[in-house]
Structure 1
């Protein structure tokens, strides 16, 4: 298991850690894929669940997509649909997405992380 460094957060809940098949967010354990948005964490079905990501329109400026243990590209149609809703999209390995989310959320940015487990 990997633990992330604690940082000051205003309204956002930090991603505390992750491991095989789980994430710890704000001290709570979540099995499987999740979407982290400010103080809200929801279970997510993964990249085929486009509606959950498109529903973030108007709530965020940037979506970090954690693609699991390794960096992978997301579907071009999904990227285009999100960008058409004025959501910037960055795909990266989930550990990197967790760290990036914590930094951006601690700065008060309008960010969400959609994370596939490692």
Structure 2
């Protein structure tokens, strides 16, 4: 078996691609370690940006670094507000991440994941240029 990235093994000839939903969609449900959106479910954290919804590798607030927000920075001109769902409890963003987002002129709000999901859905329904970085919760 060939390596499939992140500790997964896949049969030869199978290519794993980055998980990605190419559009904007509200988050229908969250919990049990994942999310439901666009009639699909995803286990793990997600990043919702103008170009789509992506699987996001951070699992806990301590996993957040500037690399985790590279796609947000790349799409900064299309983002009015970034909501960061930090799991069950609100934690501040690490200072290097905050500085990187500010340098990219990305306004952000940090809150528990549930609050971030609800706010994201409302702002998305209002057709606002909102993005969300959501850590999965159990």
TM-score using structure 1 length: 0.83
Q: 1:32-65 CA deviation, whole Å, 9 max, x = no partner?
A: 0101125711011122323233223112111100
**Equivalent residue, structure 1, for 2:76:** 57
Give the count of matched residue pairs. 108
* Coordinate RMSD, CA, aligned: 1.6
**Equivalent residue, structure 1, for 2:6:** none
* 1:31 aligned onto 2:50: no
Greater alpha carbon shift after TM alignment, 15-24 vs 77-86? 77-86
**Cα distance in 2 between the residues matched to 1:24 and 1:112:** 16
**Equivalent residue, structure 2, for 1:92:** 111
**Cα distance in 2 between the residues matched to 1:113 and 1:55:** 14
* 1:77 aligned onto 2:89: no
**Equivalent residue, structure 2, for 1:19:** 31
Distance 1:55 1:71, change over 3 A: same
TM-score using structure 2 length: 0.72
**Cα distance in 2 between the residues matched to 1:84 and 1:38:** 19
Distance 1:114 1:102, change over 3 A: same
**Cα distance in 1 between the residues matched to 2:136 and 2:119:** 16
Partner SS for 1:108: coil
The answer for unaligned runs of 5 or more in structure 1 is 1-10
**Cα distance in 1 between the residues matched to 2:26 and 2:46:** 13
Contact persistence 1:61–1:86 (CA under 8 A): no
Q: In terms of Rg, which structure is larger?
A: 2
